[in-house]
Amino acid sequence: MAYTVRKRKDYLKRAVSGDRAIASDPAKTAGALDTTASEQLLIQEESLYDDEVSIALLEQTEKDLRALEDLVTAAMEEFVVVIDPDQTPLVQAASVLKGDPTILLTGEIIIRALDLAFDGSIHGGGFDPVATILGFHGGNDAMPNSPKTILLSDCASMQRLENLPSPGDAEYEPTPIDEISIETQQTQALSILSKLWMLLKYFPGLALVAMLKKLKKRPIKKIIRRVIKWVNCRMVYPALYLLTGEAKKCLPEEEADDDLDVGDEVFLDSDDIIAGRGLDCLESSAVVLTYCDNSLRTNKDLQNLFTSYEQRAEHEALKFGTLSNIVRNTEYYGDRIDALYESTKNSPRYKKRFYDHKDALSPSKFFMMSKEDYELQINQ
């Protein structure tokens, strides 16, 4: 009767221990060394291949993204929308972002508004949450550090992130983020209170001006004019810009005796425009982008602009993670890695978030929470 012999099982050899010397077979030892060398060469080749694929994908994405960005740049240089002067909040927002009074919504203003929105967490919170949570600035006692931002900067400086110091800058001073948050909130509160104070003076000022105008035909007319001028300049006009966006100022001092009725109030020039710092820039950014979303949503140039920003953000995060943690043969691919980082270096946002820390990716430099500091909370 025919039958099939079961295949013999291969069992793991039991480890041998002891103090007796055992002679090894030279032929077997040489074969094992040859096998190990071959395996190491194969591992190295696979590592190079994996890195080649990762870098090639990043390079192709970078090429496509730069083509889109070049298209957007050319289109936004020609982009202009004339704002209806009756849309005073939009006129005010565009003027604050530009730094000069304007009724033209240009591509430059929209890009500035978009940059401020993308970095809103930095300007509003006082630190970059991405670089902070990655621990690039260190930390202690379960609290990560971050450099202090320069508060109440102008809109152009905020767009370029000049208010966020980099390692090596004189202003670079890593500080626990809880202290930064408190200082930032206090500054923002003072900014809001100063505007509230202007508004509180506005309504009594209006009533006072109305009362004084009734006395203008009396013998003290000249004195009354000066009092009205003082009330308007100090109490009414500062808050009028905040309330309605209508920018007014007093005439030069040499014309102070002229009546302050229609004709004596002119639009502000660049020296008189609202401060345009800190929260003013973020508020203006929101106004401009809301207008674009409501009124210009179908504009292809703006659609390409927003798409390019979103894709750049995703690409830079993926690029940094890949080049820092996945690519192993960094010396072999050094030139190509430097070329990929060129766009990162030229963008203030990603330079300060990623590029400044690409050579400091040592776990000892990161902020790491200890096991005692971290507890997983599960709600039953």
- What pLDDT, in 10s, does the model give residues 184-227? 887 777 777 776 666 666 666 666 666 656 555 555 555 556 66
Residues 111-159 pLDDT 10s: 999 999 999 888 888 888 888 888 888 887 778 888 988 888 889 999 9
- CA–CA dist 290, 301 (Å, integer): 16
Burial of 25 (0-12, 13-18, 19+ CB in 10 A): exposed
pLDDT band at 364 (very low <50, low <70, confident <90, very high): very low
Q: What is the Cα–Cα distance from 268 to 101, expressed in whole angstroms?
A: 7
Quick check: helix, strand or coil at residue 105? strand
- Sorted by sequence, the CB contacts under 8 Å of residue 201 that are 6+ apart come out as 234, 235, 236, 238, 239
CB 90 within 8 A of CB 272: no
Q: In whole angstroms, what is the distance from residue 88 CA to residue 302 CA?
A: 23
The structure's pTM equals 0.67
Give every strand in the sheet of 139-140, ordered side by side.
139-140, 143-147, 174-176
Break the chain into its structural domains and give their ranges. Answer: 46-78+300-360, 79-297
From 51-65, 71-85, 98-112, 231-245, the region with the lowest mean pLDDT: 231-245
- Written as one letter, the residue type at 348 is P
Distance CA 130, CA 137 (A): 11
Which uninterrupted H or E stretch holds 184? Answer: helix 177-213
Q: What percent of the chain has pLDDT over 70?
A: 64
Q: Which residues make Cβ contacts (< 8 Å) with residue 310, sequence separation at least 6?
A: none
pLDDT higher at 373 or 151: 151
Which residues sit opposite 304 in a β-bridge? Answer: none
Using the 8-state DSSP alphabet, how is residue 311 labeled? H
